[in-house]
Amino acid sequence: MGKAKRGRYLEILSASTKLGLTSFGGPAAHIGYFRDEYVQKRKWLDDKLYADLVALCQFLPGPASSQVGISIGMLRGGLLGGILSWIGFTLPSVLILMAFAWIIMQTGSFESGWIQGLKIVAVAVVAHALMGMGKTLTPDRPRLTVAMIAAAATLLIPTALGQILIIVLAGLFGVLYYKNEKAPDAVEMPLSFGKRTGIIAWILFFALLIISPIFRPFVQATWYAIFDIFYRVGSIVFGGGHVVLPMLEREVVPAGWMSSEAFIAGYGAAQAVPGPLFTLAGYLGQIMGSFSGAAIAVVAMFLPSFLLVMGTLPFWAVIRTKPRIQAALKGVNAAVVGILLAALYDPVFTSAVHAPIDFVIVLISFTLLVFYKLPPWIVVIITAILGALSLAIFG
C-alpha cells in the first residue's frame, strides 16, 4: 500500500471517527454534521453531489445517514474507504452504548440536563445545514415551492411510505418542469469498483434476505438467530432509527430474548450517544449473546446498507448524467430540503424545546455555530454543559 493511499485511509478514518464521537441528534442532524465536515471543511465533494447522495440514500432501506457516510467513504477510498468510514462513524457509539446502557440500567435514569443539551444542539445543527443546502438546492421559486410543499406533506403524512412518495412526486415535477433545460456537466464521481461488483452486491443482498430465514429452523445456534433477526430488520426498514425500534421490539421481546424493561433501557441509552440509532443493535446483541452477539448484531444490522450502497453507486454514477435524471434530481433535491425542514420541527425541535430556556440555549448554540463559526464538537460540549446548568438552576 502506497504512502498516499495509506494517508487517505487514515484521513477517512479520522474524519469519520470525529463525526462518530460528536454527531448527536439523529439522522437529520447527522446530515448537517456530514455537510459541515465533508463538503465545507474538507471539500471532498460539493453540495450538489452531496444532495444527490442524500436523495439516493433516502430511497434505500436502512440508516440513511450511515449510508451517506459509507457512500462518501467509497467515493474517497473505494470499498475499504467505505468500511473505514462506517467503522469510524459507528464504532464509538457501539462501544459507548454497550457501557452506557449498563449504567443506565443500574440507575434507571433516562433524563438528565446534559442529555437535554444534546437534543437542543441538534436544532442548531439542522438549522445550519438547512441554510447552506437551501441556498444551493432551492435557488428559484419553483424549487422553493417544492421544498415548502414537501415539508408540509412530511409533517402531515409522517410515514416512511409518505416520504418516499414525496420524493417520487418531486422527481416527476422536476422532469416536467426542467425537461427542456440543458443538463449541467456531471460532477466527478470516482469509484474503484464497477457494475459487476454492484450486481454481485445486489445478488448477495437478496440471497441473504431470502435464505437466512429459510434455514433458521434448522440451525439451532444463537449467533445464527441474531444474524437473521438483525439482517432482516436492517434490510426492510424504511424511515430511519425510530422506525426500526418497534420492529426490533417485536423480534426480541415476545421471543423471550429480553424483557420489555431491558429493551426500553437500551432505547433510553441510545438517545444519549452520538452516531446512528441503529447501534442499538450492539446493546441488544450483547444481552442476547454477550460480546460475540453484539458484534454479530451490529455487522448484520449494517451489512444490508453496505450491499445496497455498493450495488447502487456504480449505476447511479451513470444514470445521474442523463438530462431527465438531472431534471428529476432538481425536484428531488428540493424535496430533500423540505424533508430536512420538517425534521427540524419534528422530531428535532419538538423533542428538544420545552421551555423558554431551551430556546435560549438553541439561540446561543446557533450563534456560536453560524456566526462565531466554532467547530460543531465544541458547540456540542458547550450546549451539553448549558443543558446541565439549566436543569440545575431552573429544574
pLDDT tens for each residue of 99-117: 766 665 566 554 567 777 8
Write down the pLDDT at residue 311.
92
Backbone angles phi, psi at 185, to 5 degrees: -60, 145
What single letter denotes the amino acid at residue 323? P
Looking at residues 250-275, what average pLDDT do you find? Answer: 76
What does the pLDDT read at residue 187? Answer: 59
Average pLDDT, the chain: 84
pLDDT band of 262, cuts 50, 70, 90: confident
In angstroms, the CA 84 to CA 72 distance is 11
**DSSP state string for 278-347:** GGHHHHHHHHHHHHHHHHHHHHHHHHHHHHHHHHHHHHHHHHTTSHHHHHHHHHHHHHHHHHHHHHIIII
Q: Which three cell numbers stand for residue 10?
A: 487514515
- Where residue 367 falls (left for φ over 0; alpha for ψ -120 to 50; beta otherwise) is alpha
Q: What is the pLDDT of residue 183?
A: 62
pLDDT at 31 exceeding the cut of 80: yes
Least Cα distance to 304 among 70, 25, 77, 95 occurs for 70
pTM: 0.73
Percent pLDDT > 70 in the chain is 89
Higher pLDDT: 33 or 321? It is 33
Contact 325, 173 (CB under 8 A): no
Q: What is the pLDDT of residue 132?
A: 78
Residues 292-334 have pLDDT tens digits of 888 999 999 999 999 999 998 888 767 767 788 778 878 988 8
Q: 179-195, pLDDT tens digit by residue?
A: 887 765 555 667 788 88
Please tell me the predicted confidence (pLDDT) of residue 325: 79
Cell, residue 230:
438483525
Q: Is 375 left (phi over 0), alpha (psi -120 to 50) or beta?
A: beta
Tens of pLDDT, residues 334-370: 887 888 888 888 777 887 888 999 999 999 999 998 8
Query: What pLDDT is attached to residue 16?
Result: 93
Residue with more model confidence, 92 or 121: 92
Grid cell 460480546 is found at 291
Res 73: pLDDT: 93
Banded model confidence at residue 272, pLDDT cuts 50, 70, 90: low
In tens, the pLDDT along 197-218 reads 999 999 999 999 999 988 888 8
Please state the rounded mean pLDDT for residues 281-297: 87
141-to-129, 134, 137, 146 alpha-carbon distances in Å: 20, 12, 11, 9
Question: pLDDT tens digit string along 128-163?
Answer: 878 877 887 898 999 999 999 999 998 998 776 787
Cα–Cα distance between 27 and 342 in angstroms, integer?
13
Distance between start and end Cα atoms, the chain: 56
Contact 10/81 with Cβ under 8 angstroms? no
Report the amino acid identity of residue 222.
T
